[in-house]
């Protein structure tokens, strides 16, 4: 079964990342690379890091059919998707095992992919 793992973060997480030294940031990237290597066999899409939410543009179609384009993320709230991967694994338990060990974001949302 395919699942999308969405790596969620907050502005506070971005500030912590910005405050890291080059050495701390390199260590975090090393941990993510190690995580990807350990789980490589499960990835359909290896994953991509997204620009920060302030770089987003959102297109909304209103009920009257008009289209509204705004700067910023789709949702307004504390956490946004900072990246994603798609895995193909036997069941949700395996997806949970993979998500549980992701070192870079405090929250990982898992959703089944509809083929």
Distance between CA atoms of residues 51 and 82, nearest Å: 7
User: Can you give the pLDDT at residue 48?
Assistant: 74
- The more confident residue out of 62 and 100 is 100
Cβ atoms of 60 and 79 closer than 8 Å: no
Region 2-112: CATH code: 3.30.70.1060
Cα distances from 45 to residues 13, 64, 65, 69, 75, in angstroms, run 24, 37, 34, 29, 24
The token pair that represents 93 in the structure block? 């338990």
- The more confident residue out of 17 and 43 is 17
For the entire predicted model, the pTM comes to: 0.79
| pLDDT above 80 for 89 | yes
List, for residues 32-52, the tens digit of each pLDDT value. 999 999 999 898 876 777 777
């Amino acid at each position: 079964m395919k699942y999308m793992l969405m790596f969620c973060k907050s502005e506070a997480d971005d500030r912590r990342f910005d405050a890291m030294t080059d050495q701390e940031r390199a260590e975090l990237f090393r941990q993510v690379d190690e995580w990807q290597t350990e789980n490589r066999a499960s990835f359909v899409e290896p994953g991509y890091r997204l620009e920060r939410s302030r770089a987003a543009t959102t297109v909304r179609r209103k009920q009257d059919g008009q289209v509204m384009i705004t700067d910023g993320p789709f949702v307004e709230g504390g956490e946004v998707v900072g990246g994603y991967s798609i895995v193909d694994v036997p069941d949700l338990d395996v997806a949970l095992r993979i998500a549980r060990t992701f070192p870079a974001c405090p929250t990982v949302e898992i959703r089944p992919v509809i083929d």
